[in-house]
């Protein structure tokens, strides 16, 4: 590849958004913070999401110093959202269910 090479286009981002909408349609609205877990496949999606978010932050940092096509940043953002939704789908399908954060502190 060379500077200015375009590998990601709006159509690629739209495909991610379409998949995101399709998987998200059958999920209940999110009311609680979800912790990584819910079975091995869901946990792997959570891990992949954190790596994707890290890549997104690095590309944003790079964009402060070099020309970066905005499609690359949007693609990583949508991909990490899709991985999160897939982790929810997989946790429910595995029978483990989603692991919700209990925000109430225990009294000692």
Task: Locate the domains of the chain by residue range.
Answer: 34-97
Q: What is the pLDDT of residue 49?
A: 97
Neighbours of 52 (CB within 10 A): 20
Q: What is the pLDDT of residue 35?
A: 84
Identify the CA nearest to 48 among candidates 83, 90, 75, 77. Answer: 83
Q: What CATH class is the domain 34-97?
A: mainly alpha
Helices 70-94 and 10-24 cross at an angle (nearest 10°) of 20
Residue 108 has pLDDT above 60, yes or no: no
Share of the chain above pLDDT 90, in %: 69
Both structure tokens of 92 = 């429910």
Neighbours of 10 (CB within 10 A): 10
Identify the CA nearest to 85 among candidates 31, 35, 21. Answer: 21
Q: What is the pLDDT of residue 92?
A: 92
Helix then strand count (H, E) for the chain reads 3, 2
* pTM for this entry: 0.86
- Higher-pLDDT residue of 20 and 31 is 20
The model's pLDDT over 47-77, given as tens digits with 9 standing for 90+, comes to 999 999 999 999 999 999 999 999 999 999 9
Mean pLDDT of the chain: 91
Q: What is the pLDDT of residue 75?
A: 98
């Amino acid at each position: 590849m060379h500077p200015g090479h375009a590998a990601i286009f709006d159509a690629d981002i739209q495909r991610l958004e379409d998949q995101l909408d399709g998987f998200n349609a059958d999920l209940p609205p999110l009311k609680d913070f979800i912790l990584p877990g819910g079975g091995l496949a869901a946990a792997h999606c959570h891990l992949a999401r954190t790596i994707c978010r890290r890549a997104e932050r690095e590309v944003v940092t790079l964009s402060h110093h070099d020309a970066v096509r905005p499609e690359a940043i949007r693609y990583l953002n949508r991909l990490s959202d899709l991985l999160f939704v897939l982790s929810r789908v997989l946790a429910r399908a595995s029978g483990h269910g989603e692991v919700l954060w209990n925000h109430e502190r225990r009294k000692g």
